[in-house]
Structures are given as C-alpha cells and as structure tokens.
Amino acid sequence: MTDKQSPNQSSRGTVLLVDDEAMVRKSTEKWLQMAGFDVIGCDSGQQALSHILVDFPGIVVSDVKMPEMTGLELMDKILETVPGFPIVLVTGHGDVDMAIGAMRKGAYDFIEKPFNPERLVETIQRACDKRRLMLDNLRLQQNLASSSGIDQRLIGISPAIRRLKQEILTLADLDTNVIIYGETGTGKELVAQSLHEFSHRKDKHFVPINCGAIPESLIESELFGHEAGAFTGAAKRRIGKFEYASGGTLFLDEIESMPLHLQIKLLRALQEGVIERLGGNSPIKVDLRVIAAAKTDLREEDDFREDLFYRLNVSQLHIPPLRDRLEDTPLLFEHYVRMTSESHDKEQRSLPEQDFRTLQSYQWPGNVRELKNIAMRYALDKRVSVSDILFPDTGNLQASHLEGDISQPLAVQVAGFEAEVIKRSLQQHQGNIKAVMDALDLPRRTLNQKMAKYGINRADYT
C-alpha cells in the first residue's frame, strides 16, 4: 500500500511500520501484507509523524534504535498528538527493561528481536482492534456534540433507536392517544416528553403521574381534583392533574396498576372530554392528550378494561431494551458522564478501551436507568473502572461467586467469575497466553474472544 492509498476496508487493519533498515522493513512489510494488513513503510520517525492525525485509522509498529529519532522519542511525540494511540515497539533482547518502562509511559506492547512472526501478527491485531474502538469512541463523542432536536432528547445511533425517533416525530402532531411499552428503566417518560415537545401542545403543560406510586385512596383526587369538604382533610378546592393538563399532555405511567373503578371514570373523561372534581357536581371541559405507559401488553391484564384499552390504543410505541442496542451504550454513557462532570464541576473522564468493551458486552438488566447510575458513579470517582462498579465483588471469588451472591442476575455472576479466573491465570503465568490456554484448557480463539469480551489486556500482566 502506498502513502496515497486509502486503507482497504476489508483488511485486518492498517500498520505504520517504522524501521531505518530497509531489508528488515521490506521483509516485515511483506509478511504483514500476507497476513492481511495494509502497511505503510517509513524509514524514519519524522516520516512516520507526517501520517499521524487524530483520525489516523491504524497503529504504529516501530523499531526502538534508530538514528535522529528513536522509537521512544517517536512514541512520546505521537502520544502528545493522540493520547492512547497504540504503539508496538520492536526491541533487542537486552532492551526488555527499557521496553517495560516504555509500556508504563504508554506503549501498547513490545516485541523482542528476533521475533516470532505469529506473535507479532497477534499483537498487531489486538492493537488494531483497540484503535478501532478508539475511533468509534471519537465518532460517538462527535455525534453527541453535534446532536440537536430529538437527537438531544433520545441519544443513540442504533437502527432500533433511529426507528423509534422517526415514529415519535410521525406521531407527535397527530394528537392521538398513545400507549408506550417498555421494560423498567428504558425511558418511557422521556419518550412521552418527546411526543409532547414535538407536538403543537408543547407550550402547555406536560403532566406525569405514576399510577403505581400513589395510594389507591388518593389517586382519584390526584387525577380529578376535589372540592373543599369532599372528604376529611379536604380543607380547600384542589385542581387535579386532568384539569391542570388541559391544553397539554397527561402522561399515565404504570397504567396497568390503575384501580378498576377509576378506569371507568378515565374512560368517560376520554370519551366526553369532561371531568368532575371529587365532591363536585359541575362538569369541567378538558382538552388534552393522554399518553399511557405499561411494561406488558394491556390486553393480557385481567383487571384492565378492554374498552379503555381500545380508547387509549390509537397508537403504540415500543421502546427497545438496552441489551438490543448495545452499540448505543458508549454514547449514552459519555452523555451522562459529561452531565455529571459539569454539574459537579469536575474534569470529564475519558473512556478507556477496557471500559468501552465492558459497556458493549454487559446486558444491562436495569436498562438506561442502570447505565445512568453507573455513569454518575464513574464520573465522580476516578479510582474505579466500569467493571469495578458493575462487578464489585469479582476480587473476592469465595464471597461473591463460589458462595452464590444472588443479589445480581446469574449472567452477571457467571461473567464476573469467568473474567476473574482468566485475570488470575494471566497474573499467575505473567501474561503467557500459551500457559493460560493449557491451565484453563481453552483453545486460543476462545480465550481471545473471552478476553475481548471482558476487556482484558494481556499486556497488563506481562
């Protein structure tokens, strides 16, 4: 590949190969090309620097001992321009201590001469994977910074969330009643707010009420209001949510928990456009849109009136759970980290490769609500990683996993246990992949997949 060629999209990655010895550089370049990489050869650090931009799609493999600019000096200059950029150093046998010091300063890994070509390819592949993750993260941050309109309300770039945004914009001005379905924590109220804010009712009130959180004895008064003296303690007239929302939108969350006798009154209010305050006799006209939310299909609820269902079910929206749009997790996480950092006047933390991987492999049983809470803790405590927060007990296998901590889902416990076993084996064998494969009786491909899944980097244990 020449300097002017663009990277091949089907290749395993792009390698900027830096070595002042032409014969070594050419033979290594040929080997890497045969292994499926695009290669840009450079005979000096200065020539290599001309390629390094924030969005350079590849990695650097550099010899350490070169005239004019050493590999270490090249690494320092690259990391000044692009922090975290993957750089693999090629060293002589006597330079191992120096190479380990370089890794503490930011080198991705080092390879000893004479090197095993297969190990070089394996190391380069992992470095290229990291670079792809870095670029994905950069694009996510750019998308977040440039978002507007509904993209600021509902964050995500997955096909599922794009489809939901389009459905919201289509329904917003139709002024029909809507039922929103979604698991706990998916953001049903946020979707309801978006329907309101992009409708012609946006200048009037959006009034949310959680039907499952209000005692049955008070919910009728909350919805319809009451006159003074309507019941013990009703010292003065109170305007209910229906009346207050007139002209705007009333959002009824967890509507499946609404008592049967109130469902009848709600149906009458929707059919006739009038309500009566508790203890009153005068009908009050209301003009509002009702958006209801439920976790499960209302038709399957034995205590939910069929006629009310059909009155509400003019339109439906289904919010996908976060596990079905894992590609959105880094963008959402960055958003909540930034919000938390700004509100507490703290410097925003960047998202390392391991945390990026963890976000996209965890199944998020608590959906966006869980992710938001994790992001807030991550933003406020620089000592912890995403894995530390999600799997707080992985350091204590006996207490957390072997004795069966049932406070977390089984999948979370199993994942934490598996990740910890691999980490301990890597530590025991000082990062020797072959020894870990033998100890755990795992083929190389399976071990690599599990290490990628849990964000485990062999270089951390060498």
Radius of gyration of the chain (CA): 29
What residue ranges do the domains of the chain occupy?
Answer: 14-145, 159-319, 328-461
State the amino acid at position 134 in one-letter form.
Answer: M
Q: Which residues lie closer than 8 Å to 180 by C-beta, 6 or more apart?
A: 188, 191, 192, 291, 292, 293, 294, 316, 317, 318, 319
pLDDT value, residue 395 = 45
Q: How far is CA 228 from CA 217, 220, 225, 317, in A?
A: 17, 15, 10, 39
Domain 159-319 has CATH 3.20.20.70: no
Percentage of the chain beyond pLDDT 90 is: 44
436, β-bridge pairs: none
pLDDT at residue 405 tops 60: no
Closest CA to 224 of 269, 175, 287: 269
Mean pLDDT value of segment 96-117 = 78
Judged by average pLDDT, the poorest of 20-24, 66-70, 147-151, 294-298 is 147-151
Closest CA to 134 of 83, 179, 73, 90: 83
pLDDT value, residue 37 = 93
Judged by average pLDDT, the poorest of 112-116, 126-130, 320-324, 326-330 is 112-116
What are the tens digits of pLDDT across the range 49-84?
999 988 899 999 999 889 889 999 999 999 988 888
What are the tens digits of pLDDT across the range 343-394?
999 888 877 777 887 888 888 989 999 999 999 999 999 888 888 888 775 5
Domain 14-145 has CATH 3.40.980.20: no
What are the tens digits of pLDDT across the range 124-168?
998 898 888 788 777 766 766 665 578 888 988 889 999 999 999
What band does 7 get if pLDDT is binned at 50, 70 and 90? Answer: very low
What are the tens digits of pLDDT across the range 246-276?
999 999 999 999 989 889 989 999 999 999 9
In the predicted model, what is the mean pLDDT of the chain? Answer: 85
Topology agreement, domain 14-145 and domain 159-319: yes
